[in-house]
Chains A and B, each alone.
Chain A
Amino acid sequence: MSTLLAAAGSLEPAARSYLSPTGQEIVFLLVGVLVLGAAVVSVTTRQLVHAALWLVVALGGLAVEFLLLTAEFVAWVQVLVYLGSVVVLVLFGLMLTRAPIGRSPDADSGNRPAALAVGAASAATLVTLVVDAFRSSWIDLSGPAGTTRLTGEFLFSHWVLPFEALSVLLLAALVGAIVLSRAKGDGTKPRPGNLRTVLTKTKER
């Protein structure tokens, strides 16, 4: 890990200043504001599907932030996995159960004040913490720190064991999902006397 940091280049807080931001930094901030806004709308809107869509905007914005930090591999994986699969599955779940157009008044459990308090408190803690911790650190992005190649090398040399363990986790999740959802065993026979079973079985043959 320390090699990775070393590869990121030295930090030279003295040479930088907040007062002359580069174009990249300005874009980074603007996208950050967009992500924040989308996230806030996502949790406050009363339209279920819109909430999921604003989540898409927030996650996509994060991918842009990764791109701006030159971590293109992470950025596109973020798009592929979170936008392309996770939120689509969320939408899928919504639409298979209920996805009304317009407001759903019962989507609010009445915990808004409590949720607001918890959210605000944790946001405040985090912001103070991170701002306090990283004050004026600058990371030089010209190095190969975010490249696919370096990411791959770290993943498959230093982190190969957790990586493989994750595959075990996914396999266990797959097995579990099948156990919990597969409704009909192959052994079910049509029972005599049940017209419907007989008919469907005949059709299948």
Chain B
Amino acid sequence: MIATHALAAAGGNSPSIPAPHIEYGQLSPMLVVFGAALVGILAEAFLPRRLRAATQLGISLAGLVGGFVAVVVLAAQGHASTRAGLLAMGSVAIDGPALFLQGVILLTAVLAVLTYAEGRLEPRINGHRIDAFAAQAAAVPGGEQEREATREGLRTTEIYPLTLFAVGGMLLFPASNDLLTMFVALEVLSLPLYLMCAIARRRRLLSQEAAVKYFLLGAFASAFFLFGTALLYGYAGSLRLGEIADVVSGVAPVTPALAVTTQNDALLLIGLAMVSVGLLFKVGAVPFHSWTPDVYQGAPTPVTGFMAAATKTAAFGALLRLFYVAFPGIRWDWRPVMWGVAILTMVVGSILAVTQQDVKRLLAYSSIAHAGFILTGLIATDRRGVAAVLFYLLAYSFVTLGAFAVVTLVRDSKGEATHLSSWAGLGRRSPLLAAVFALFLLAFAGIPLTSGFTGKFAVFQAAAGGGAAPLVIVGVLSSAIAAFFYIRVIVLMFFSDPQPSGPAVAVPSALTATTIAFGVLVTLGLGLLPQYFLDLATKASIFIR
């Protein structure tokens, strides 16, 4: 205490720099989630092992629900429309699209975290519940150490704080208003995902391979993004999206420092191309999609569901902001390229999905095709396009989450039975589960009365309105191809005989059941009564600059 006294007595001689102005209230969704992650880490450090799993679930749910409440409050206060603004010294934009997507991401994360905690799908070992994650990630797969860890009931409860970190990054990603923040957010959301892919309990080698593949390709994509950022900074002399837009459209005053570079279109176009590569990788659009099937297949299924839903939402949010805020001035340059990417993505995703024999890979290719459908909405470059993309993301997230949750339930002695042949006749064994999965597949296919139909209709309508009619035709054709394989799975489930040694359907606890029920509810709700949410998306479709 004497030391403290002396400390306090010593006077400061350094003139302090002006403190930055941070709007904590409006950043609260992110702050709450990051705060919960920190609490989670502390819990991991100090709680005894037996209490950890339950506490972590509680902390995560509290943080995510708290974040969602914050989003709703902010929206109710008008931060989505009239009071939207740039925050944290211009690094973050809180506006309609940002709040809408943050809400979607938080809700998806809540449901995903529920599936993480599922411990009833497998019989207990030694009285310990078994979840989807490796007992000890460092143990050699199949080794003595792993068996020992399983016997002792160790669990990788760090998965919860990691998820919260990823969610925090995802909240920041679509809201970031400069390329640097966007890059940091991209890394914050990606790194925990790479790690989470590596800790599946079953088929651990596959899981680790998936993680390494994801990490290497993801690092490569991040490097592209960063390189593009540097070039764009060279072009515009600024990293803020709004200022880049001003330079692009020639509104910005020409400073002598930028006199030469702002006239250089090569710098602008190559920079934009590289930044887009980074984002399209995260979205899973076609030339950059090759990681998707392997990673979706290898990752623990609850993580796959979370990743498929939330990452796509966040990445499309960032893509929208990039193209609508920073580069509307050169849309005649990027639109043709994005046309090509969208067409390729839809066609390749749909056609390759037809040949798949594994449910998780099939869903992976279907997610690629869906990225293509969403891209058509992005190409519309008007408010309707934004609204359609927002709505599509909302619809798609819950369907995906539900579908992957169903996949976790169909099991045999080796864990999840993901091979399509073992799903034959599932409708006879467990009609309810098969019906739910069929509903999700129909929603993926875009059959009327499901959310998928409304979403597809919205994006195609926006694209047609934006003068991309050929794109719509390609989209409808690929939807037809996609519908073929979705229906094929339904036929397989209901109209073929079950294998004698086929998988059993595990009875889930309330946790997974909630997730699936919520998925069904949203799918039907957005299909039958979409108007409220369409209006909400339309209201939320204005970007602040």
Interface residues of A (CB under 8 A from B): 1-2, 5-6, 8, 10-13, 125, 129-130, 132-137, 139, 152-153, 156-162, 165-166, 168-169, 171-173, 175-176, 178-185, 187-189, 191
Closest-by-CB residue of A relative to B34 is: A168
Task: Chain A residues near B191: list those with CB within 8 A.
Answer: 169, 172-173, 176
Task: Chain A residues near B183: list those with CB within 8 A.
Answer: 162
Quick check: A157 and B180 within 8 Å, CB to CB?
no
Quick check: B234 and A5 within 8 Å, CB to CB?
no
| Chain B stretch 301-324: residues in CB contact (< 8 A) with chain A | none
Task: Chain B residues near A5: list those with CB within 8 A.
Answer: 237, 255, 257-258
Q: Interface size of B by Cβ–Cβ distance < 8 Å?
A: 67
Quick check: B264 and A11 within 8 Å, CB to CB?
no
Roughly how many angstroms separate A199 CA and B113 CA in the complex, as a whole number?
42
Interface residues of B (CB under 8 A from A): 17-20, 22, 34, 37-38, 41, 44, 49, 88-92, 136-139, 145, 148-149, 152, 154, 156, 158, 161-162, 165-166, 168-169, 172, 178, 180-181, 183-185, 187-188, 191-192, 194-195, 198-199, 231, 234-235, 237-240, 243, 255-261, 264, 266-267, 270
With contacts A168-B165, A182-B138, A185-B136 taken as known, whether A176 is within 8 angstroms of B195 at the C-beta atoms is yes
Distance between A30 CB and nearest chain B CB, rounded to angstroms: 24
Task: Chain B residues near A136: list those with CB within 8 A.
Answer: 260
Roughly how many angstroms separate A199 CA and B259 CA in the complex, as a whole number?
75
With contacts A5-B237, A169-B188 taken as known, whether A160 is within 8 angstroms of B89 at the C-beta atoms is yes
With contacts A166-B184, A168-B168, A175-B161 taken as known, whether A161 is within 8 angstroms of B148 at the C-beta atoms is no
Distance between A150 CB and nearest chain B CB, rounded to angstroms: 10
Distance between A8 CB and nearest chain B CB, rounded to angstroms: 7
Roughly how many angstroms separate A188 CA and B33 CA in the complex, as a whole number?
33
Quick check: B255 and A159 within 8 Å, CB to CB?
no
With contacts A159-B91, A162-B181 taken as known, whether A176 is within 8 angstroms of B260 at the C-beta atoms is no
Quick check: A169 and B154 within 8 Å, CB to CB?
no
Q: Among B44, B161, B180, B256, which residue has its beta carbon within 8 angstroms of that of A10?
A: B256
Roughly how many angstroms separate A34 CA and B49 CA in the complex, as a whole number?
55
Other A-B pairs, 12, CB within 8 Å; known A161-B88, A166-B184, A187-B152: A2-B237, A11-B259, A139-B257, A152-B17, A160-B91, A161-B22, A161-B181, A168-B165, A169-B184, A169-B191, A179-B156, A188-B148
Q: Among A2, A10, A133, which residue has its beta carbon within 8 angstroms of that of B261?
A: A133
Task: Chain A residues near B264: list those with CB within 8 A.
Answer: 132-133
- Please list 26 pairs of residues, one from A and one from B, whose beta carbons are closer than 8 Å in the complex, sorted by A's number: A1-B237, A5-B257, A5-B258, A12-B256, A13-B260, A129-B270, A132-B266, A157-B17, A158-B89, A158-B91, A160-B88, A162-B178, A162-B183, A162-B184, A165-B184, A169-B169, A172-B166, A172-B188, A172-B191, A178-B158, A179-B137, A179-B195, A180-B138, A185-B149, A188-B152, A191-B148
Give the one of B41, B181, B188, B234 with max A CB within 10 A: B188
Task: Chain A residues near B188: list those with CB within 8 A.
Answer: 165, 168-169, 172
Quick check: A161 and B239 within 8 Å, CB to CB?
no
Roughly how many angstroms separate A182 CA and B199 CA in the complex, as a whole number?
13
Distance between A149 CB and nearest chain B CB, rounded to angstroms: 8
Chain B contact surface mostly? helix
Closest-by-CB residue of A relative to B49 is: A187
Quick check: A133 and B17 within 8 Å, CB to CB?
no
Quick check: B260 and A161 within 8 Å, CB to CB?
no
Give the one of A10, A136, A161, A183 with max B CB within 10 A: A161
Task: Chain A residues near B235: list those with CB within 8 A.
Answer: 133
Give the one of A153, A158, A169, A172 with max B CB within 10 A: A172
Quick check: A183 and B162 within 8 Å, CB to CB?
no
Quick check: B138 and A181 within 8 Å, CB to CB?
yes
Task: Chain A residues near B139: list those with CB within 8 A.
Answer: 183
Roughly how many angstroms separate A162 CA and B91 CA in the complex, as a whole number?
8
Distance between B527 CB and nearest chain A CB, rounded to angstroms: 37
Distance between A138 CB and nearest chain B CB, rounded to angstroms: 10
Quick check: A179 and B199 within 8 Å, CB to CB?
yes
Q: Among B162, B238, B267, which residue has its beta carbon within 8 angstroms of that of A176?
A: B162
Quick check: A179 and B17 within 8 Å, CB to CB?
no
The 10 closest A-B pairs by CB, nearest first: A176-B195, A161-B88, A172-B165, A161-B91, A133-B264, A162-B184, A183-B138, A157-B20, A5-B257, A162-B181
Roughly how many angstroms separate A6 CA and B178 CA in the complex, as a whole number?
20
Distance between B167 CB and nearest chain A CB, rounded to angstroms: 11
Quick check: A1 and B261 within 8 Å, CB to CB?
no
Task: Chain B residues near A10: list those with CB within 8 A.
Answer: 256-257
Distance between B89 CB and nearest chain A CB, rounded to angstroms: 5
Roughly how many angstroms separate A8 CA and B256 CA in the complex, as a whole number?
11
Closest-by-CB residue of A relative to B168 is: A168
Distance between A129 CB and nearest chain B CB, rounded to angstroms: 6
Quick check: A157 and B89 within 8 Å, CB to CB?
yes
Task: Chain B residues near A171: list those with CB within 8 A.
Answer: 38, 41, 165
Task: Chain B residues near A160: list those with CB within 8 A.
Answer: 20, 22, 88-89, 91
Roughly how many angstroms separate A191 CA and B148 CA in the complex, as a whole number?
10
Roughly how many angstroms separate A188 CA and B144 CA in the complex, as a whole number?
13
Q: Among A13, A157, A165, A181, which residue has its beta carbon within 8 angstroms of that of B18?
A: A157
Task: Chain A residues near B152: list those with CB within 8 A.
Answer: 185, 187-189
Task: Chain B residues near A159: list those with CB within 8 A.
Answer: 89, 91, 180
Task: Chain B residues near A179: list those with CB within 8 A.
Answer: 137-138, 156, 158, 162, 195, 199
Q: Among B20, B166, B172, B238, which residue has its beta carbon within 8 angstroms of that of A2?
A: B238
Distance between A12 CB and nearest chain B CB, rounded to angstroms: 8
Task: Chain A residues near B165: list those with CB within 8 A.
Answer: 168, 171-172, 175
Distance between B213 CB and nearest chain A CB, rounded to angstroms: 16
Quick check: A172 and B192 within 8 Å, CB to CB?
yes
Task: Chain A residues near B240: list those with CB within 8 A.
Answer: 1
Roughly how many angstroms separate A187 CA and B136 CA in the complex, as a whole number?
12
Closest-by-CB residue of A relative to B21 is: A157
Task: Chain A residues near B194: list those with CB within 8 A.
Answer: 176
Task: Chain A residues near B195: list those with CB within 8 A.
Answer: 172, 176, 179-180
Roughly how many angstroms separate A166 CA and B199 CA in the complex, as a whole number?
24
Task: Chain A residues near B256: list those with CB within 8 A.
Answer: 10-12
Roughly how many angstroms separate A157 CA and B240 CA in the complex, as a whole number?
15
